[in-house]
Each structure stands twice: as structure tokens, then as C-alpha cells.
Amino acid sequence: MFEGFKDERVDVGDVELRVRHAGDGPPVLLIHGHPRTGATWHRVAPQLLQRGFTVVCPDMRGYGRSGTATVLPDHSQQSKRAVAQDLVTLMRRLGHDRFAVAGHDRGCYVALRLALDHPDAVTRLVVMDGVPISEALARCDAKFARDWYHWFFFAVPEKPERAILADPDAWYTADPRAMGAENYAEFRAAIHDPDTVRAMLEDYRAGLGVDRDHELADRSAGRTVRCPALFLWSTRDDMEDLYGDPLAIWRTWAGDVRGVPIESGHHMAEENPDAVAAALTDFLK
């Protein structure tokens, strides 16, 4: 994976981040979701590199081979605001003061927070397979509670760790052939690490508390995304089942937003990397 990319650890303050990066063109930061690592982009990143971009693929704090932070009572050590600050610092230390950002799944919440908290740094925003946390919670009904029960189970102290670590492979089922052997190996190492599992759960605990509060504060203050934005959603996921027209939700958060469906299941960067790379290229060029 990632032939021609540097693979480094970069100190960003509270933690060290594992990051792969390459290129000398316009920079784009790719943020993975749960429970993946930066390796989820291994079929997309080389295509973007070939098309003239500088591509940066970190493991978020608490995920993959990046460091974990000390757990705080309000879980803010894993807030999207803390992770976004990590990534702004990372990009600056790699020489990129302004950059585009694309985030998938939990990473889309970090990408949104980057655009809201650091508007002078983010040139373009891509959000993939998600709506803002506060919007999802405001629309939570019996279907959401049934299909996305893990949002709430993961917020329970201790029990999720015990359930997952009893048999991580059974909890996080994945197909190594679909993912690619090396990507799968990184994913499997992460889900078998107790500290990483705890940190990934803290992502959800922060989501139901401080992250929601931060988004509600943005809405109250009238803050929206200032840069052009793109929403990508998987046609075989449940975005439309849950939200009808999820792009309409994003239009209330960004003044300039367009949408592109991707023929794929949830893990679109692994399942249909050509379509993802093409959509990103068309938007970022």
C-alpha cells in the first residue's frame, strides 16, 4: 500500500499521529472513519497523487497507530474539536497552511469541525456518508435507535469494551479480500488493541455530549461552512432511508454545497475507489 508515500509519526502536542503523505501539488487531507485507519484510503490516495495532489492520510488520535490521549470525565480528549486541532497542527508541520479536507463516517464530523473552527485553513470540504451529529440526534426515531444502536451502547461505561474485546473479529466483521490484505491487517491490529478500542469508543461518547454541544453552539451563533462543500453518499447505505434528502440537511450548514451519489456500500473508498477519486478530483481541481 501507499507506494511512494512517506510513513511517519508526527508530534502534534497531546499525541503523536501516524501519517502517510506524498506529493507536491494542492494538499488534500483524507480522514477515515470508525473503526478504520488511514489505510482505508489506500485505493484512493494513489489516484489523487497521480492527478497532481499532495495527499495526507493520518490515523486520527486514538485510532490505528496514532497515540491515545488521557480520558477526561467529559470525553473531550476525543472530541472532534480536539481531533481537528491535531490535524491542523499536523498539516502545518507538513508545510500546509491551507488545504482541502475530506472525511468519511466519523471522519466527516472531524472534517466539518475543521471547516467551522479553522475556516482560514480549509479551502474545500468533502463530507461522506454522514450528517452532523446534532442533526442525526434531532431526527432519532425507533428506526435509528434500532439500526444505529451502537451510538448509544458505546456511550455506556466499560461494557462496550468488554463486549468488543471478548471477540473483536466477531464484533467488527470485515472481508480481507474486499479491504485488501494490508488494510485489513492494520484494521485487525487496531481492533485487538485495548487502548485503541477504548479511544474509538470515546469518539462516540464525545459525540453524544461535547460534540453535539459544539454543533448546537454553532447553530445558535449562526456559524456555517464558508468554503465550497461536497456531500458524497453511498447508494447501498442508509442515508436516504434515514434522512430522505440528506443533502438538504447539509444545505443548512454550508452555503455552497453539492452532492454526488457513489454506487457502493458504506466503505466507499474501499468498495468503489475509482468513483470516489473521480468525484474528489472533479470537486477539488
Task: Please tell me which residue in 105, 203, 218, 237 is annotated as part of the active site.
Answer: 105
Report the Cα 178 to chain-centroid distance in Å. Answer: 20
Q: Is 266 a catalytic residue?
A: yes
Selected catalytic residue, list 34, 118, 192, 266 = 266
Biggest CA pair distance of the chain: 48
192 given a catalytic annotation = no
Q: In 196-227, which positions are buried (b, 16+ CB within 10 angstroms) versus exposed (e)? A: bbbbbbbbbbbbbebbbebbeebeeeeebbeb
List active site positions.
Answer: 105, 266
